[in-house]
Chain A
Amino acid sequence: MVLIFGGAYQGKLAFAQEKFQLSDEDVFFCRADSAPEFSARIICNLENFCLYCLSNGIEPRELLRQNADALRDKIVIARDISQGVVPVDPLQRAWREACGRALIYLAQEAGEVYRVFCGLPERLK
């Protein structure tokens, strides 16, 4: 598995598609209001996946663990939402924490980890 994270609008997906030569058909965009799929090569917007899980009483990290086999050859892209003020809203607060736990798990499992900053990728693992 490859994990790519970074702030909003930093060029994470463009980097993934260029590096791994993948087209738009290879991308699954997670949504907060519908169940995730683990079949496309690129699983984008993991933060939305986390929000979907929380809204349905699921711990995102556990759902990722259960799908570890399906994720093995995937590229997972996540927006880093960890660096602002602690959100006042309880759901946003839980969301931020769940994203953090999910990313720690994925970073451990991944063979390659990248952070993208202003369009420039940096390999962390």
Chain B
Amino acid sequence: MKAFISGSCKNGKSHYAQELAVRMARAQGRPLYYLATMIPHDEEDRARIRRHLREREGLGFETVERGFDICRCLDETTVSGKPVRREGIFLLDSVTALLANEMFPPGGDPDRNAPQMLAEELAAFAATVSGVVFVSDYIYSDAFIYDELTESYRRGLAFIDRRLAAICEQVSEVSYGFVKQHKAITNRGILK
């Protein structure tokens, strides 16, 4: 089962995605992994990461820290030292952060091919593991005119979003806790 969750910022996407991943793992009796994509830059970041880690432990998540080359997480161990099994359910929050890490490497030039590469890598990852929930950010409906590099990042994220929405069985848009299913699984198969 593959799910893609998007919506505007700070409106309950992560919470919904966590619940969905927990339900998937419990229903199938599978290990549950959280793919942490944030690369900490200062103590404030590290404090936030520690807080999130504690919150997720209560829900049964094992955290895997992987800010780039996401498929390599399958060769690594969790923060608590356990092996990462492809039979698990993976929550990836967020595609937005992952693309920023891949496209804007610290100290290097922007990688303009990052969106295409990441779209293929995430599709391959989704095909390898038992279940995955992708979280992205809907940043496409404002009237601001961005600089060329920011615009290429936005275009790139949309390219990945469309690719993931095409391969996932569930596509949901979250607005302040309300969930709109653009594609959903029913007992008759894929709804639309």
Q: Which of A's residues lie within 8 Å of B, judged by CB?
A: 6-11, 79-85, 87, 92-93, 95-96, 99, 117-120, 122
B158: chain A residues at CB < 8 Å are 7-10, 118
B36 CB → nearest A CB, Å: 24
Q: List 6 A-B contacts (CB under 8 A).
A: A83-B8, A92-B143, A93-B143, A117-B165, A118-B4, A118-B164
Q: Are A81 and B159 in contact (CB under 8 A)?
A: no
Q: Hey, which chain A residues are within 8 Å of B183, CB to CB?
A: 120
- B155 interfacial by beta-carbon distance below 8 Å: yes
Contact flag A84-B144 (CB < 8 Å), given A9-B158, A9-B159, A120-B182: yes
Complexed CA–CA distance, A81 and B131 (Å): 34
Contact of A9 among B4, B6, B145, B154 (CB under 8 A): B154
Task: Give per-residue flags for B1-35: 1 if the beta carbon is below 8 A from chain A beta carbons, else 0.
Answer: 00010101000000000000000000000000000
Q: Are A119 and B165 in contact (CB under 8 A)?
A: yes
Q: A9-B140, A117-B171, A118-B6 given; name 17 further pairs at CB < 8 Å.
A: A7-B140, A7-B158, A9-B159, A9-B162, A80-B140, A81-B142, A84-B143, A92-B143, A117-B182, A118-B162, A118-B165, A118-B171, A118-B182, A119-B161, A119-B166, A120-B165, A120-B171
